[in-house]
Structure 1
Amino acid sequence: MQEADLKDVAIIGGSFAGLTAALQLGRASRKVAVFDTGRPRNAASPAAHGVPGWDGRAPGDILSAIRGDLAAYPTVSVHDRAVTGLSGEADAFRLTTAAGEVMARRVILACGVTDRLPDIPGLAEGWGTWALHCPYCHGYEIKGQPLSILGRGPMALHMARMLRTDWSQDVSLIAHEGDLGPDADAETAALGVSLHRSPLIRAEPRKGGARLTLADGTVLQTAGLFLHADTAFAAPFVADLGLATLAGPTGPYLKTGAFNVTGRAGIFAAGDIIRPAGIVTPALADGAITGTAAHQSLIWPDRFPPIMET
């Protein structure tokens, strides 16, 4: 590839974090290529809440608006194709795509994670509408109605306390799998949360929510079923980069240091890939931090050393 084709920064992932990083770099007139699969994590959700200025707008509409902003910067290009491999080192990274290879001096991993739901009939169809991951994102719209939790470990009690305290007085906790902890019965009783020690075997959509059937025949009506899905890196090649990871409550995420540097010089990361909470506003903040850091590392590379991976 000719020197003129060398990108200053390649951003893998064009959702909230990746596009925000591109905006910072575009304003510095740096040559940036964004690669996106078109499958954002919250695509199934009809609205993104808690996003200042965009509260309640569809996630796709917000991303389209940010892409529209990027169109004003001629050094930024957005490509609707996946990156399938990454090799090389700082100032000479090589990205593999279906359309060929791209060279870049810096790389930002903003490719996020994917959610792996329990294999329960009907659950996947409700993901993002009545099967929900976050009360801050979705709780206000269904507050005061019957709410439920798919218990898959001790985090379920954390969710139960939040929902019962500020979103609804009618909360049910389904002990679906995993150990809820030794004090689950006492804690749910103290909270006034109904504990059902029988797994969920079927979920059927109903107007305003879903009908949940448990293995013992119990049927619950719910406006929202909250659960923590298992997560994995959305881009499989990330696991082969040798980067340090941390264990989150649902799956691994990348370990980063100040300014979102990783353990390899020249590789930064942003968004859901570096934090266990999938919320839009932190992803936007990550993008701004990481975009400016990647830019400044082009000027002062010694100020952005990789983290120690011990």
Structure 2
Amino acid sequence: MTDQLKNSYDVVIVGGGAAGLNGALMLGRSRRSVVVIDSGRPRNAPAEGVHGLLALDGIAPSELLERGRAEVRGYGGEIVGGEVVAVRGGDGEFTVALTDGRVTRARRMLIATGLFDEIPDIPGLRERWGKDVIHCPYCHGWEVRDRAIGVLGSGPMSVHQALLFRQLSPDVVYFTHVAPPTPEQAAQLAARDIRVMPGEVASVRIVDDRLAGVRLTDGTFVAREAMAVASRMVARADFLASIGLKPVPHPSGMGEHIPTDPTGRTEVPGIWVAGNVTDLSAQVGAAAAAGAAAGAQINFDLVTEEIQQAVSARR
């Protein structure tokens, strides 16, 4: 990364994960001046590898980002370290302010800042997050296959999560915690031989830097080798409040996102979003694809504007 930030760009991209970098790649290949401003706090940093990504399955998140940055730079794109604190303006003239006082301008913007995971305040969970405390059966499930898996009842998707993890292990326990199953869900869990443990979870036990099990508030201890937790996912988008763009509840109940039309365009003209900031459940491949699609749409929007200007000038 660099600290050098020019006065203006065709497109400023906020967020340097898969969505932001792939958007920058498309724009750079379209000969647009583009900068990616990245805070350096990727959501998947605790994970050992990225999974479900064709031809790159298991690649370390840091290596994937380094490769992506190199490709973006190869087409003239810039990668700048920093955190955006506010966006102002509109109508093709946005001012982007960083926390350290730097300022730049953009004709269009792509927001790809991702999300943050709110997980229950249970001792031990955050410490093992991304290791043996996990959330996604497609991202981490193979790595815990055939192990003793616990699923924490923490939200509306928890039972669904337990049923998915049962595909990967015959030993799954559902801890009701704050999300006891409905009668219909209880029947589904029983049919799949998923044991249900009532009561709230007090803590998870860690031994030799590994998850050892779960302790309930009544003192009951259940040995587990992995724990699945459905986090509440919230878009990282506070800095957009300055232009009236705020996260809203996601229809699934999983958290809050920035809604868009099918092209990634938001209700604020000139601003697109891509990746987990709008699609809370998107894996790396889907986020990258959304970034590429948004980059193409932004370029087309700029081309349309430039054609109109050229026609007017010719007249």
**Distance in 1 between residues matched to 2:78 and 2:39, nearest whole Å:** 14
Q: Which amino acid aligns with 1:177?
A: V
CA distance in 1, matches of 2:132, 2:213: 10
SS at the partner of 2:57? Answer: coil
Is the contact between residue 84 and residue 96 of structure 1 (CA under 8 Å) also seen in structure 2?
A: yes
Separation in 2 of the partners of 1:210 and 1:68?
41
Give 1:10 shift: 0.3
Q: Please say which of residues 199-208 and 43-52 is displaced more in the overlay.
A: 199-208
- For 2:179, the equivalent position in structure 1 comes to 178
Cα 1:118–1:278 change in 2 (3 A) is: farther
Q: Are residues 1:265 and 2:273 paired?
A: no
Q: Which letter maps to 2:30?
A: A
Partner of 1:238, secondary structure, is helix
| SS in structure 2 at match of 1:297 | helix
What is the root-mean-square deviation in Å for CA atoms of aligned residues?
Answer: 2.0
Query: Letter of the aligned partner of 1:282 in structure 2?
Result: A
- Do 2:205 and 2:213's aligned partners in 1 also have CA atoms closer than 8 Å? yes
> In structure 1, what is the Cα distance between the partners aligned to 2:179 and 2:162?
16
Mapped to 1, the partners of 2:205 and 2:240 lie a distance apart of 36
What is the aligned counterpart of 1:61 among 49, 60, 63? 63
Residue equivalent to 1:279: 283
Q: Percent identity?
A: 33
Mapped to 1, the partners of 2:192 and 2:243 lie a distance apart of 45
CA distance in 2, matches of 1:27, 1:246: 35
Q: Which residue of 2 is the match for residue 36 of structure 1? A: 38
1:222 CA drift (Å): 2.1
Query: Does the C-alpha gap of structure 1 residues 100 and 152 become closer, same or farther in structure 2, counting only changes over 3 Å?
Result: same
Q: Which runs of 5+ in 1 are unaligned?
A: 304-310
Which of 190, 195, 213 in structure 1 is aligned with 2:215?
A: 213
1:63-112 Cα deviation digits (max 9, x unpaired): 111111122122x1111100100011132001001242110000001011
- For 2:277, the aligned partner's letter is I
Is 2:207 the partner of 1:203?
no
Higher mean C-alpha displacement, 52-61 vs 77-86:
52-61
Matched pairs, number = 298
Q: Distance in 2 between matches of 1:149 and 1:300?
A: 50
Question: Which residue of 1 is the match for residue 313 of structure 2?
Answer: none
1:228 partner letter: A
In the other structure, the counterpart of 1:19 is 21
Q: Indicate the SS of the match to 1:87.
A: strand
Which of 275, 293, 299 is the aligned partner of 1:295? 299
Moved more, 12-21 or 246-255: 246-255
Tell me, yes or no, if the aligned pair for 2:115 and 2:233 is still in contact at 8 Å.
yes
The whole-number CA distance in structure 1 between the counterparts of 2:274 and 2:305 is 19
8 Å CA contact 1:154, 1:179 repeated in 2: no
Decide which moves more: 174-183 or 275-284.
174-183
Residues 302 and 154 of structure 1, relative CA distance in 2, 3 Å threshold:
farther
Q: Take 1:240 and 1:183, find their aligned partners in 2: how far apart are those partners?
A: 45
